[in-house]
Amino acid sequence: MLPISGDASSKEVFPAAKAAISRALQLDPDSAEIHTSDTGVKFWFDWDFKGAEAAARRAISLNENYSLAQMYLAHVLSNTGRHDEALAVIQQALVVDPLSLIIGTVRGQFLYHAGRDWESVEQFKATLGMEPRFWVGQICAAKTYEKVGMSSEALAACDKALEYSGGNSEALSLAGYVHAVSGNRTEAEARIHTMLEQRQRRYLPPYNVALVFAGLGEKDTALQWLEQAFEERDVHMPFLLDHKWDGLRSNAQFQRLLSRVGFDRPASSSAH
């Protein structure tokens, strides 16, 4: 989870995770937990969406009430555009574990992916009402707020996510994007500057830089950073169907990138 929650380098941590999973599967091939971990690596690092779906379904077959496996299956389905299936599966996970902050959060995110934005807002109100310091919930809520035009709420959620996460760069990136599409170029460029400074000192995912340039309409620079994200196996690349990339959607280089990440067919935006 460190590349997602802690800005760690995928190439530094996932090979060790894969080795551990391989050893664990030798010791116990019928563990739902191990197959769920395998799902995570296939989804975030290998971008093997078919393999990730198969591993998640294997985990659920071993333990039908394992909500984490259901959540990962729903994640694969949602990120690849199978929204109705994803929402049905995440609803099952929420029945099993109704107070889970992460399951409530990703349900909100999957509603956003499906274009059901106001339902997403309501889900985030419920989840963050239980625990407003859950930073993953704040960052995902910010994405929905931006999409429905609630820019000030999106920026406030980004600020909370930055504080509660201890500085995760996705919060900086999303705030920069919101400023960019709102016409606040100076604020957007300040976020880029901060991220580039941080990237000199520690690992910072290139996707997060690309996103702000996309918001500014600087397509060539955004694509350069996305190519870097591809090379570094950035865990954010499975989110290329997000509406924030619609400005690049018709670009041939972007379409090739989609294919290389594992999206089989020309992708429409998450709203469709």
**Which pLDDT tens digits describe the chain residue by residue (272 residues)?**
899 888 999 999 999 999 999 999 999 999 999 999 999 999 999 999 999 999 999 999 999 999 999 999 999 999 999 999 999 999 999 999 999 999 999 999 999 999 999 999 999 999 999 999 999 999 999 999 999 999 999 999 999 999 999 999 999 999 999 999 999 999 999 999 999 999 999 999 999 999 999 999 999 999 999 999 999 999 999 999 999 999 999 999 999 999 999 997 544 444 33
**Domain end (from 131, 158, 190):** 131
Whether residue 271 lies inside any domain: the answer is yes
Whether residue 171 lies inside any domain: the answer is yes
**Domain end (from 131, 157, 184):** 131
**Radius of gyration of the chain from its Cα atoms, rounded to whole angstroms:** 18
Domain that holds residue 16: 1-131
Whether residue 151 contacts residue 182, with contact meaning beta carbons closer than 8 Å, is answered with yes
Structure tokens belonging to residue 162: 């930055």
Does residue 32 sit in the same domain as residue 109?
yes
Does residue 116 sit in the same domain as residue 19?
yes
pTM of the model: 0.94
Structure tokens belonging to residue 220: 């060539």
Does residue 46 sit in the same domain as residue 166?
no
**Domain end (from 77, 107, 131):** 131
Does residue 115 sit in the same domain as residue 190?
no
- CA 226 to chain CA centroid, nearest Å: 15
Does residue 213 sit in the same domain as residue 153?
yes
Does residue 271 sit in the same domain as residue 197?
yes
Does residue 118 sit in the same domain as residue 52?
yes
Exposure string (b/e) for 64-99, b if CB count within 10 Å is 16 or more?
A: eebbbbbbbbbbbbbbbbbbebbbebbebbbeebee
Whether residue 74 lies inside any domain: the answer is yes
Whether residue 46 lies inside any domain: the answer is yes
Alpha-carbon span 28 to 262, nearest angstrom: 29
Domain count, the chain: 2
pLDDT digits over 164-194, tens only? 999 999 999 999 999 999 999 999 999 999 9
Whether residue 31 contacts residue 40, with contact meaning beta carbons closer than 8 Å, is answered with no
Structure tokens belonging to residue 231: 């090379």
Helices 49-62 and 32-41, packing angle to 10 deg: 170
